[in-house]
């Protein structure tokens, strides 16, 4: 059964987090709060039609959670589009995956739009296990025969080491 006191405390915590996001840059959020929120939403989903109080709790938590996630996403988008440095420790694991994917898409988009290619197309000549590039971004793993577009500096390193050959 739902503990109303815990639900009310969660709503207060969500209000605090939303207020903090309005006032600060992108800072680390304890991932356990996200798990608590999702758990509460899933539990309240069952009871919301049985009792209007639970319906209000459900709507309130869902709205605050959506607002919090949207605010954090927008900050990540702004950081990526302005090519600002992102510190891994400021993001949850899921947020960091979003950041990496968005950054990769924007780099490719800018490269095509500006016609300034910072990437090279290469064929991988031998397996390369996952590694971190100079910016601390996770790359790979690459398998022999893969054809990939990667950062020019990394591609040139792989070519020098005999791990890849240039295709373009």
pLDDT higher at 49 or 86: 49
**Nearby residues of 100 by Cβ (< 8 Å), 6 or more positions away:** 137, 138
Rounded distance between C-alpha atoms, residue 167 and residue 157, angstroms: 15
Of the chain, the percentage scoring pLDDT greater than 90 comes to 49
Enumerate domains of the chain plus CATH numbers: 4-84 (1.20.58.1030), 117-166 (3.40.5.50)
Token code pair at residue 145: 């025969």
Mean pLDDT is lowest, of 80-84, 113-117, 134-138, for 113-117
Instruction: Give this prediction's pTM.
Output: 0.62
What is residue 67's predicted lDDT score, i.e. its pLDDT? 96
Query: The tokens of 86 are what?
Result: 């992102």
Phi-psi region of 116 (alpha: psi -120 to 50; beta: other; left: phi over 0): beta
More confident residue, 4 or 168: 4
For the chain, what percent of residues have pLDDT higher than 70?
96
Span 37-65, average pLDDT: 93
């Amino acid at each position: 059964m739902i503990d109303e006191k815990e639900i009310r405390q969660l709503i207060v915590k969500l209000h605090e987090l939303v207020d903090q996001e309005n006032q600060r840059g992108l800072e680390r959020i304890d991932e356990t709060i996200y798990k608590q929120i999702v758990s509460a939403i899933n539990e309240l989903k069952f009871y919301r039609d049985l009792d209007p109080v639970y319906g209000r709790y459900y709507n309130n938590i869902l709205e605050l959670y959506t607002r919090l996630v949207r605010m954090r996403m927008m900050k990540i988008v702004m950081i990526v589009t302005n090519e600002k440095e992102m510190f891994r420790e400021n993001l949850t694991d899921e947020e960091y995956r979003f950041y990496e994917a968005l950054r990769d898409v924007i780099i490719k988009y800018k490269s095509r739009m500006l016609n300034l290619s910072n990437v090279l197309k290469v064929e991988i000549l031998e397996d390369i296990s996952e590694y971190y590039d100079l910016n601390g971004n996770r790359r790979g793993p690459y398998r022999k025969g893969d054809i990939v577009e990667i950062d020019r500096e990394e591609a040139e390193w792989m070519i020098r080491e005999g791990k890849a050959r240039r295709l373009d």
